[in-house]
Chains A and B, each alone.
Chain A
């Protein structure tokens, strides 16, 4: 009873303090409003559409899906694809991370750059390359046919191939961080006590990195499940949830069925996400402090080097082959038929895609700073301020990580194609719906990097500012923001990359007036115009690289020398 009155007393005191800072108070209220309207409400809309038929709670959509093989098969397919991709991707990622941290592999920076390159390109570029290489008119198709006989790149095999290349870097980044963070003294101690290198690996390195491996596996699994671009291009008859949900809505105009499939997609990704965030992450033995220690024990035995090096080289060669094919393909007159080099693809791409490129640039440039600032501010509130609903704010803002783009896209059409009590403006067809979607989908990255940066800043520095008379907002602007600037800018880069390469969610909200470059590429691929698609993909990658360079320059100016590329992911 006593503690109850004390609690309420504290709540009142808290409220009073917040009340004394009206700007902070309104900021919190506004952020809650935005999070609810643009994150929670759309997802809720999808759930509601799948569950409510003619104004009544009704499971008929789910019953229909579960009874008809036609609908249920995609669920099994998605799960199977996700598991395969996660296993292979994590394996490659681990080998790569191991090679870079625990062996004398030469040209490490080169291998690291290559291993992370797929992250900055739109994922379905890999599919495009796969078609150019192994498709019906693929340049390598005749040779492959000689070895394995008749095959089609369209289907499960092709999907696993492209998704592995696209998402192994995610696993690599997680595991690289984990392996770097293991105290080398532990491995040295094990060796000192008589363990061979293999024993050191089996009894120390591997067990310590196990939470990291689980984490990487779940993240790749989520990415594979949520992937829309690659399956759209290369899945053939292997039907997966993200594509089927899209087709139900845009092809059949069946919002209820599409929503139901989206919910089937949401459930495993949400489970995987929360496993990763709340269970695996807590089991972790290593804390990533941002101060890499670097292992001192390097494996030099041939039986370790040979398989590790082979896999590193093979994967790197794969990345080069795939992206090289895109470059080469963009200059060919007609792939597989007329190999004369030409620039007409670029001309065609600009003619057809000029508006798309401009739209993409405009919308991404508008969305990126908003999501960056918002992300940092939310991180600041979550880490440094005490207020009611702080946990809820953390939860909602992380929600977009767990929710596949397809679900968000459907949610946005449901939520904003007519006025609703909590948001009275129709957004469908406007630039705003795209900007808002990009902002709130990419904001968690900003929040994450902000939280990581804030954890490294002693809270008493901010207290000192308050003590000298600055209110919360001034302290944030003059003290916190400058100190987390490097993290802020790397968050910006990532948001920009994500905005430029987004497809799964935005494809639902693009319109005749406002369209995006990724949608245009997908359109080219749809019409089998692979060469212009390749040209446009290259342009997209070039834009992203330029943006990355500019922001790296700004960060260098600020002078902390933090490398952006190493923070991505």
Chain B
């Protein structure tokens, strides 16, 4: 497996004229491994789709390089690139049947009729469209159209499969089912894929690695666990899941990375990268809502007051006022736990292992 199968090097895309320049993609560096599923995740306007369209060749980079298997492809037109794209709105050819849609690319490449038939039928079986060859795309449901679109891209056996929010036009249930299917298919075929989405749940469940983008820049690249558990900055922490940000202070760091940190008057022992902090540093702690434990009573510090108490069935969601902060707290399985009412005094503690430290100036 090649480590840098597809590489984006210092990729920049600037749109607009002299006065209204928009830097859509700002010095993006990324290496995609062979057979890997990488998701570009970010809010709308973060440059993820532009990046994808540059890989496909629909946008020409203002500067930087796109390297596929060691070859610079920036100046290769989209029709000559070994990439195929699944479009957000599927972009099926309305005047062709399902079969004609899927076999279109093979025909364009002048494959022999026999091979076209074999490969088209094979991929149709793969995505579960067998029997729909003669249908018109307009007669299909959203989910079926989505499969046609996927099949049309897969049949080309692309070196890189590009997916531009392919599930955003499906309803919620279908979205969940389809994303599992896409993931299985991708793993089975071992296709290197770049997937664009703004849905963090989608990104987390689908990807080998997630690339979080904001304002044209990559904020963090990592496995789903890494980006959730060890967010690189406040934006990532906030964007992936929910997070509470509380000021803290480093008290001591031993040589093996064991660190003592004081948060809300209490001392916690955490493990961080060695040499990242020194004693006396002001830091910001990232604390996930599910890493906070609330207990009865007001004796043990820190204490807080329940501002809002919401029962959601599978979990209990509180807003707790602690000094200058309003903290979100989520308690799973509320059936077995004591439930607090609004106005009650509670004591709080944090699960040591899930505390994460960020520098203070980071906004």
- Please state if A460 and B91 are interface contacts (CB–CB under 8 Å): yes
Which B residues lie within 8 Å of A10 (CB)? Answer: 60, 62
Q: Contacts A461-B92, A465-B93: A20 and B77 contacting too (C-beta < 8 A)?
A: yes
A17/B93 in contact, CB under 8 A: no
Question: Are A469 and B109 in contact (CB-based, < 8 A)?
Answer: yes
User: In the complex, which residues 74-122 of chain B have their Cβ closer than 8 Å to any Cβ of chain A?
Assistant: 75-80, 83-85, 87-89, 91-95, 104-105, 108-109
Given known A-B contacts A21-B77, A468-B84, A469-B108, A6 and B62 have beta carbons under 8 A apart: yes
| Pairwise interchain contact A6-B14, C-beta atoms closer than 8 A | yes
Residues of A within 8 A of B311 (CB): none
B324 within 8 A of A: no
Asked if A13 and B84 sit within 8 Å, CB to CB, the answer is no
- A479 on the B face (CB < 8 A): yes
On whether the beta carbons of B95 and A483 are closer than 8 Å, the reply is yes
**How far does the Cβ of A6 sit from chain B's closest Cβ, in whole Å?**
6
Of B62, B78, B94, B156, the residue contacting A466 (CB under 8 A) is B78
| A469 and B93 form a contact (CB under 8 A) | no
On chain A, the residues within 8 Å of B21 by CB distance are 3
- Does A207 count as interface, using CB distance less than 8 angstroms? no
Q: Which residues of chain B from 1 to 24 have any CB-CB distance to chain A below 8 Å in the complex? A: 14, 17-18, 21
CB atoms of B60 and A467 under 8 A apart: no
Q: Is the CB of A471 within 8 A of B60?
A: no
B108 engages A470 (CB within 8 Å): yes
- Whether a CB of chain B sits under 8 angstroms from the CB of A417 is no
**A469 touching B79 by the CB < 8 A rule?**
yes
Whole-angstrom CA separation of A513 from B93 in the bound complex = 48
- Asked if A463 is an interface residue, CB under 8 A from chain B, the answer is yes
Task: Tell me, in angstroms, the Cα distance from A469 to B109 when the chains sit together.
Answer: 7
B58 in the interface (beta carbon within 8 A): yes
Does A198 touch B at the CB level, under 8 Å?
no
Contacts A13-B75, A21-B77 given; indicate if A463 touches B62 (C-beta within 8 A). Answer: no
B356 at the interface (CB under 8 A from A): no
A466 contacts B92, C-beta separation under 8 Å: no
* B84 neighbours in A (Cβ, 8 Å): 467-468
Contact residues, A441-489 vs B (CB, 8 A): 458, 460-461, 463-471, 474, 478-479, 482-483
In the complex, the answer to whether B87 meets A463 with C-beta atoms within 8 Å is yes
Residues of B within 8 A of A478 (CB): 104
Q: Does B306 contact A (CB under 8 A)?
A: no
* Distance between Cα atoms of A168 and B178 in the complex (Å): 56
Interface size class of A (residues with CB under 8 A): 20 to 34
A482 vs B78: C-alpha distance when bound (angstroms): 22
The answer on a CB contact under 8 Å between B93 and A467 is no
CB–CB B94/A467 < 8 A: no
In whole angstroms, how far apart are the Cα atoms of A474 and B78 in the complex? 13
Partner of B79, one of A14, A16, A461, A471: A471
Is B56 part of the binding interface, using a Cβ–Cβ cutoff of 8 Å?
Answer: yes
Q: Which of the listed residues A9, A21, A467, A479 has the most CB atoms from chain B within 10 Å of its own CB?
A: A467
Contact pick for A468, options B14, B75, B88, B108, CB 8 Å: B108
CA distance A6 to B60 in the complex (A): 12
Collect the chain A residues with CB atoms within 8 Å of residue B48's CB: none
Please measure, in the bound complex, the distance between the C-alpha atom of A483 and the C-alpha atom of B138, giving whole angstroms.
14
Residues of chain B contacted by A17 (CB below 8 angstroms): 60, 75, 77
- Report whether B93 and A466 are in contact in the complex, using a CB–CB cutoff of 8 Å: no
Q: Which of A6, A465, A467, A483 contacts B56 (CB 8 A)?
A: A467
| Chain B residue at minimum C-beta to C-beta distance from A4 | B18
> CA of A16 to CA of B77 in the docked complex: distance in angstroms?
9
Residues of A within 8 A of B78 (CB): 463, 466-467
Please judge, given known A-B contacts A10-B60, A13-B75, A17-B77, whether A468 and B105 are in contact too, CB under 8 Å.
Answer: yes
Chain A positions within 8 Å of B63 at CB level: 9
Q: Pick the residue among B62, B83, B95, B109 that contacts A467 (CB under 8 A).
A: B83
Most-contacted residue by chain B among A13, A464, A466, A483 (CB, 10 A): A464
- Complex Cα distance A478/B95, Å? 10
Tell me the chain A residues, 327-360 only, with Cβ under 8 Å from chain B.
Answer: none
Known: A6-B14, A6-B62. A464 touches B87 (CB 8 A): yes
Given contacts A458-B89, A483-B95, contact A463 B79 (CB under 8 A): no
Give chain A residues whose Cβ lies under 8 Å from the Cβ of B153: 467-468
**Once the chains are docked, how many angstroms separate the CA of A174 from the CA of B337?**
71
- Scoring B58, B79, B94, B105 by chain A CB atoms within 10 A of each residue's CB, the highest score goes to B79
Q: B18–A461 contact, CB under 8 A?
A: no
Which of chain B's residues has its CB closest to A468's CB? B105
- State A16–B76 Cα separation when bound (angstroms): 9
Measured between beta carbons, the chain B residues less than 8 angstroms from A16 are: 75
Distance A461 CA – B92 CA, assembled complex (angstroms): 6
In this assembly, does B209 line the interface, its C-beta being within 8 Å of a C-beta of chain A? no
A461 surroundings in chain B (CB, below 8 A): 91-94
| Alpha-carbon distance A6/B61, docked complex (angstroms) | 10
Q: A479 and B62: CB pair below 8 A?
A: no
Pick from A460, A470, A482: contact of B87, CB under 8 Å: A460
Q: Check: B234 CB closer than 8 A to any chain A CB.
A: no
A463 partner residues in chain B, CB cutoff 8 A: 56, 58, 78, 85, 87, 91
Return chain B residues, CB-CB under 8 Å to A458: 89, 91
CA distance A304 to B135 in the complex (A): 51
Give the contacts of A58-73 with B (CB-CB under 8 A): none
Q: Is the CB of B152 closer than 8 A to any CB of chain A?
A: yes
Closest A residue to B101 by CB, please name it.
Answer: A464
Q: How far does the Cβ of A255 sit from chain B's closest Cβ, in whole Å?
A: 45
A489 to chain B minimum Cβ distance, whole angstroms, is: 14
CB pair A468 B77 closer than 8 Å = no
Q: When chains A and B are docked, how far (Å) is the Cα of A528 from the Cα of B251?
A: 112
Task: Output the nearest chain B residue to A483 by Cβ-Cβ distance.
Answer: B95
Of residues B18, B60, B76, B92, which shows the largest number of chain A Cβ atoms within 10 Å of its Cβ?
B60
- Rounded to whole angstroms, the CA-CA distance of A469 and B21 in the bound complex is 32
User: What residues of chain B lie closer than 8 Å to A13, measured between beta carbons?
Assistant: 60, 75
Interface residues of A (CB under 8 A from B): 3, 6, 9-10, 13-14, 16-17, 20-21, 458, 460-461, 463-471, 474, 478-479, 482-483
Can you list 9 residue pairs at the A/B interface with Cβ under 8 Å? A21-B77, A461-B91, A461-B93, A466-B57, A467-B79, A469-B156, A471-B79, A478-B104, A483-B94
Contact residues of B with A, CB < 8 Å? 14, 17-18, 21, 56-58, 60, 62-63, 75-80, 83-85, 87-89, 91-95, 104-105, 108-109, 152-153, 156
A458-B91, A460-B89, A470-B79 known, 19 other contacts, Cβ within 8 Å = A3-B14, A10-B62, A13-B75, A17-B60, A17-B77, A458-B89, A460-B91, A461-B94, A464-B87, A464-B93, A465-B108, A466-B57, A467-B58, A469-B105, A469-B109, A469-B156, A471-B77, A478-B104, A483-B94
6 smallest beta-carbon distances between A and B, as pairs: A468-B105, A460-B91, A464-B91, A461-B91, A482-B95, A469-B108
